[in-house]
Amino acid sequence: MKNPILNPVAKQHSNNTFTADEVGLANRNSGTLLETLRHDVTPVGAHYLLNHFDIPYVESADNWTIELSGLFQKPQSISFAQLQGLAPQTQRVTLECAGNGRRHVQPHWPSQPWSVEAVGTADWTGVSLKSVLELAEPEAHCSEIVFHGTDTGVDGGAVHHFARSLTIENSMLDEVMLAYAMNGQPLLPQHGFPLRLIVPGWYGMASVKWLNKIEAIDYAFQGHQQVGTYVYRDKKDDHGTPVSKIRVRSLLIPPGIPDWSTRQRLIRPGITNIIGRAWCGGGTAVARVELLAGERSIEATVHPSSDRFAWQLWEAQWEATEGQHILSCRATDANGNQQPLEPRWDAAGFGNNAVQQVEVWCEDY
């Protein structure tokens, strides 16, 4: 395939203003509505979305097959029906986009301009990846498994379909699954119908949608979505460190009522129950959440998660007094990692888990 360069205009960082292209991306890739954080399982229509290219049109799952090729002793094609015949498993998993928080990393890289809302939790049903790999028997020298989606487009000047790899060790973890249902329903087209990978505890890019090919290899996969992006870098052209597990983060449900366009909040004076979610990758629990109100830090009650890879509910009582306030929340995971107060720099705006800021105006209206 030739590699056309569709857009010869070099991308560059910019401050606070957003281009029409970024607004276009924001219209295609919706974030969750923060008030829906009250639900332990995000309603499917409120789950965030991130699709790089066009959503493939798949009329029915009946003819879908998943090809296991490369370094397998028994390479084979598995039909969707066969997959559904394997022992099913359901897991509640919180997914977050690695670009969540990008718009606060200033100057920001022109891409999906997430504020803090690229997160959601779903009950994913499918089969363990391990059980499928074992059918095909990976060769002893296989070191990585590549997951290929059918969606195709141009990025980094090259035509490619979306593909990512995991090491064979990570592929064999019990929690990694091939999912065909979300909250008890077949996947919606935009979430990968009919089949996707779910890699619990990792940022969303690992969970390849519209999955139709699983390839076993013995070298480091060099696809654009693996090495050209999803890498933490100080400078645009650095070699960088691959993005993997989700960093600890918490969000609060903005209290009171919103101003339509600015989303500033209006609340009445008095004791207010502030509720939110906190989560961390790698199956690590969140140990602590503080509600920050101006100079004050209020210890929140953090509830256990309903599943190892799902977020946790937290709540704290705050006495609102008349005037303007900034509310934030700050989580610390069980290993002692804490959310930073200010965004840390990353050239493409990945992994910004700095605290959210919610402007609240308190008045007896």
Binding site for ligand MTE (CB under 6 A): 47-52, 95, 97, 149, 151, 162, 191, 204-205, 207-210
Q: How far from 152 is each of 25, 144, 210, CA to CA, in Å? A: 17, 22, 11
Print the binding letters for residues 43-62 with Mo ion: x by CB under 5 A, - otherwise: -------x------------
Between residue 77 and residue 106, which ones bind Mo ion under the rule CB under 5 A?
97
Residue 35's contacts (CB-CB under 8 Å, 6 or more residues apart) are: 253, 254
Nearest-approach distance from CB 209 to Mo ion, in angstroms? 11
Place of tokens 């008045």: 363
Nearest to ligand MTE of 187, 313 (CB atom): 187
136 binds Mo ion (CB under 5 A): no
Residues 179, 198: contact at Cβ < 8 Å?
yes
246/286 with CB nearer ligand MTE = 246
Query: Do 129 and 164 touch, CB atoms closer than 8 A?
Result: no
Residue 54 vs 363, nearer CB to Mo ion: 54
In the complex, least distance from residue 349 CB atom to ligand MTE, rounded to whole angstroms: 13
Residue 31 or 255 with smaller CB distance to ligand MTE = 31
Please, which residue, 75 or 228, has the CB nearer to Mo ion? Answer: 228
Nearest residue to ligand MTE on Cβ basis: 204
329 lies in the binding site for Mo ion (CB under 5 A): no
Between CA 288 and CA 312 the distance in angstroms is 11
Contact 288, 303 (CB under 8 A): no
Residue 349, contacted partner among ligand MTE, Mo ion, none, CB below 5-8 A by kind: none
Please tell me the distance from the alpha carbon of residue 106 to that of residue 200, in angstroms, as a whole number: 29
- Residue 193 Cα to chain centre, angstroms: 18
